[in-house]
Each structure stands twice: as C-alpha cells, then as structure tokens.
Chain A
C-alpha cells in the first residue's frame, strides 16, 4: 500500500508550458521532500518543507506543503527540457529523524 500517492503518473508537455505535480496522503508527515531523478542516476534532493502551509521557491519551481501536512504540490513555470525527469515526493514520519516514505513518482517529459 502506497502511503503517498503521486499524480499524474506521467506528464508530457512542451517547453514554455506550466505543470503541477501532486503528492497526497491520509497520513500526517513531519516534513516532506521532493527529489528529481534522471535516467541512470540516483534521486537528487530539491527541497524540504516542514511547516503546514509553507511555500518554497527554487527558481521556476514552487513547492507547497498542505496546511494539514498531508499533501504537497510542485509547480514548474515555463518548463524547460532540462526539467525532464522523475519527480519523487517523500514524507518523513516520527519526527525529523523518521524514515522516508516515497511516492511512486511522476515522470515528466518536456519536449522542445
């Protein structure tokens, strides 16, 4: 049973378009992280959100943690081909030292 559900599973868009990826759960997390994974490589941490309602921006990427700390979203503005990758959300339970539970990921493909 997947504790974290990501949607959509796959997203294909053209350069310049915007996209949003969702990460939902019925469980409360002490923190939530987003990773990007490129083919043949391990995931790379993009951001950690900790406080309910928190919004963090990383250049064209905007991350939001839900008020109840059960869900999160990642929004990319004006996508570029370099944004192509598998986006994974991961929630920590049991405090900041808790193990991470990963979602299955959203495969994003940005075409020229």
Chain B
C-alpha cells in the first residue's frame, strides 16, 4: 500500500521559533509537494520538488523553505514561525500519472 507519513499530527510552537515538518514516502516517487490548507481557501502550494536537491516555489513560498536530501524525504522549514502560519500542512507525492498521495497532515498552531 502506498504510504506518505508526516512527522507530527499536532504541533504547537511559539512565535519566532524555527519549525521543521518532515514527510516521508515509500513509493519511490520523484515529485513531492507541500501544501497548506485553510478554511475557505482550499489547498495552496508552498513548495515542490522534482527530484533530490531540486526545489521550486509554489504559490505561497514566503516564510518557508524546504530541503530534499533523499528521494523519500521532503522537509518543510518555517524559519521564524508567525501566527499567520497557523494552519494544516499537507505533504504529497505524485505518480507519473499526476495522482497525488497525501499524508495525514500536521495541524500547526503558532502562539
């Protein structure tokens, strides 16, 4: 069975903290994505990666960075967390047919 896992289901951080969200997929997919999901706004793409060490900005990259050192792992970094980054964060990997498989999400609260 296809699987995408995320390091935490719930996370509470303070303003200014550095936050790491990790995502691992076991399907040998080359492409991986980070989205955030907010009520009424749907899923918005933060960053994606076509391959190891390759990354591209999505629609809302400000305040975020990513790291992809290994094919199966894609990390999202909030350099200095702010309250407007409170959200549900979803990681996904993609097949060659553009079918995306999502992890369970990390609900991040920044106080």
Q: Which of B42, B90, B97, B101 contacts A2 (CB 8 A)?
A: B42
Determine how close the nearest CB of chain B comes to the CB of A97; give it in whole angstroms: 7
Q: Is the CB of A41 within 8 A of B42?
A: no
Q: Is the CB of B43 within 8 A of A40?
A: no
Q: List 5 A-B pairs, minimum CB-CB distance, nearest first.
A: A42-B102, A102-B43, A104-B42, A102-B42, A96-B98
Determine how close the nearest CB of chain A comes to the CB of B47; give it in whole angstroms: 11
Chain A residues within 8 Å of B, Cβ to Cβ: 2, 4, 9, 31, 33, 40-45, 48, 88, 90, 92, 96-100, 102-105
Q: Is the CB of B103 within 8 A of A42?
A: yes
* Secondary structure of the A contact surface, majority rule: loop
Q: Is the CB of B102 within 8 A of A48?
A: no
* Secondary structure of the B contact surface, majority rule: strand
Complex contacts, B92 vs chain A, CB 8 Å: 42
Determine how close the nearest CB of chain A comes to the CB of B25; give it in whole angstroms: 12
Determine how close the nearest CB of chain B comes to the CB of A29; give it in whole angstroms: 11
Complex contacts, B58 vs chain A, CB 8 Å: 99
Q: Is the CB of A104 within 8 A of B40?
A: yes
